[in-house]
């Protein structure tokens, strides 16, 4: 999984989803990988613009998404980049 941060056009920073900590929320900005892998994630609802919360980090990680929990195993051929949301005070 790529470990470098990238800049988005709107100035926000994106990170690999695996860098989120438990309880941290983010918006999916980009999914890179084989077309069939990306399509499969989109079928589960994980697509650009989706808000996710890291429930349990690791590989596989568990994400909370739209009230459901989804288990995601990141492989070297698949990268999910997210823009972390500000943590409420």
pLDDT, tens digit (0-9, with 9 covering 90-100), for 18-40: 999 999 999 999 999 999 999 99
Residue 50 confidence (pLDDT): 96
Does residue 43 belong to any structural domain of this protein? yes
**The domain that contains 33 carries what CATH number?**
2.30.30.90
Does residue 42 belong to any structural domain of this protein? yes
Does residue 89 belong to any structural domain of this protein? no
Does residue 18 belong to any structural domain of this protein? yes
Does residue 15 belong to any structural domain of this protein? yes
In SS3 terms, the chain reads as CCCCCEECCCCCEEEEHHHCCCCCEEEEEEEEECHHHHHHHHHCCCCCCCEEEEEECCCCEEEEECCEEEEECCCCCEEEEEEECCCCC
Domain that holds residue 51: 6-84
Number of domains forming the structure of the chain: 1
pLDDT, tens digit (0-9, with 9 covering 90-100), for 58-78: 999 999 998 899 999 988 899
Residue matched to tokens 């999916």: 28
Q: What is the pTM of this model?
A: 0.82
Does residue 57 belong to any structural domain of this protein? yes
The tokens for 78 are 């698949």
Does residue 74 belong to any structural domain of this protein? yes
Does residue 1 belong to any structural domain of this protein? no
In this predicted structure, the answer to whether residue 42 has a pLDDT above a threshold of 60 is: yes
């Amino acid at each position: 999984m790529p470990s470098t941060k990238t800049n988005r056009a709107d100035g926000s920073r994106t990170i690999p989803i695996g860098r989120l900590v438990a309880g941290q929320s983010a918006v999916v900005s980009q999914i890179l990988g084989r077309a069939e892998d990306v399509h499969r994630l989109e079928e589960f609802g994980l697509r650009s613009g989706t808000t996710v919360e890291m429930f349990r980090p690791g590989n596989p990680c568990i994400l909370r998404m739209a009230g459901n929990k989804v288990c995601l195993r990141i492989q070297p051929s698949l990268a999910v980049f997210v823009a972390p949301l500000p943590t409420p005070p």
